[in-house]
Amino acid sequence: MDSNPFWNKDFFQTVVLLLKRALLWVTGYMPTDCLVEDDVAFLALIGVGISSVFSGLFLVVKRKTLVVNALSHTILLGIVVAALFLVAQKMSPFSSVGFILAAFLTSFITMTSTNILVKIFRVQPEAAVGFMFTTLFAIGVLFSTLFFRNTHLGVEAIFGNLDAIDQKDLSEIFFVAGLNFLWMFLYFGRLRVTLFDSAFAKVMGQKTLLLDAIMLFMTALTIVGGFQSVGVVIIMAFFTLPVLIARLFGPFLKRILLIGSCVTFVSALVSVAIARDILTYYATSVSTSAVAALFLFFCYIVLGLTYFKKVGKLEHS
């Protein structure tokens, strides 16, 4: 405990120390293996939050957040199936290959099963999504308890556990964040056209179905990348609340991306500091990811009820 520089620090001391150590890490003056639990939790929440903002922007503004909810539950089945396959190949199930394979399986299974219900059984799309995510989630829980009984895969996948994150896991988290940034940088214009005028996008020859499939895959990959740190339930807050908060400051998509990323940074900083403050003064350990979700919720409520009562119509820029 004495080796942890955050030991017995209060809220404000933790905030200052987190910013100082993060700056040293980013500039290369502090190696990754010198990071302690609070540093890792702070950086992990930033990486997961930024990934969620970039992959969730168009889903939120297109009012398709139910898709995120479905993927956040069916991802457990994808993780278990990918883990079984990689273990059979004598590979680590928690590698970059495992993340990508789990995301691909999840997005493919969810999209295929939902389309079957809609096109063959004539089920409404919303009902199909709700039916399939509960069914596939139940299968995922069953498989995780059958094949990973001696691990905490099921519990951590549902609720997350930042304490289980170590320095080497940060590379996976920021790898996913980098992919999300690259995806948005390359396809932002096409996604914007598809959002505001899908008919025009089809006339122009854009492959809207392919873009939707890639967006679904990136969303699944983001959820897989964050399942260990924030879980498949709490991650919904990271997809929706930063974007909704950013929309209060203006209707422009690029501004929403920027402000949403800043909001996730602040929430990560404040939540880790609050968790450390509670541990210092009350000797009680709390879920940092849950604190972050609650912080985002209260920020949205306070801002929405006070200064920002009107949200403008989304603009192209």
Tens digit of each residue's pLDDT (9 = 90 or more) over 283-309: 898 889 889 999 999 999 988 887 665
Supply the pTM of this predicted model.
Answer: 0.86
Number of domains in the chain: 1
- Is 311 part of a structural domain of the chain? no
pLDDT at 1 over 50: no
- Is 2 part of a structural domain of the chain? no
**Residue 236 is part of a domain; what is its CATH number?**
1.10.3470.10
- Is 37 part of a structural domain of the chain? yes
- Is 119 part of a structural domain of the chain? yes
- Is 316 part of a structural domain of the chain? no
- Is 298 part of a structural domain of the chain? yes
pLDDT digits (tens, 9 = 90+) for 27-43: 999 998 899 999 999 99
pLDDT digits (tens, 9 = 90+) for 166-225: 888 898 899 999 999 999 999 898 888 877 777 777 777 777 778 888 888 888 888 888
- Is 317 part of a structural domain of the chain? no
- Percentage of residues in the chain with pLDDT exceeding 70? 89
pLDDT at 49 over 70: yes
DSSP string over the chain: -TT-TTTT--HHHHHHHHHHHHHHHHTTSS-GGG--HHHHHHHHHHHHHHHHHHHHHHHHHTT-HHHHHHHHHHHHHHHHHHHHHHHHTT--TTSHHHHHHHHHHHHHHHHHHHHHHHHTS---HHHHHHHHHHHHHHHHHHHHHHH-TTSSHHHHHHH--GGG--HHHHHHHHHHHHHHHHHHHHHHHHHHHHHH-HHHHHHTT--HHHHHHHHHHHHHHHHHHHHHHHHHHHHHHHHHHHHHHHHTT-SBHHHHHHHHHHHHHHHHHHHHHHHHHHHHHH-----HHHHHHHHHHHHHHHHHHTT----PPPB--
- Is 175 part of a structural domain of the chain? yes
Residue predicted with more confidence, 149 or 9: 9
pLDDT at 124: 84
pLDDT at 81 over 70: yes
pLDDT at 159: 59
pLDDT at 121: 84
Structural domain that includes position 71: 11-305
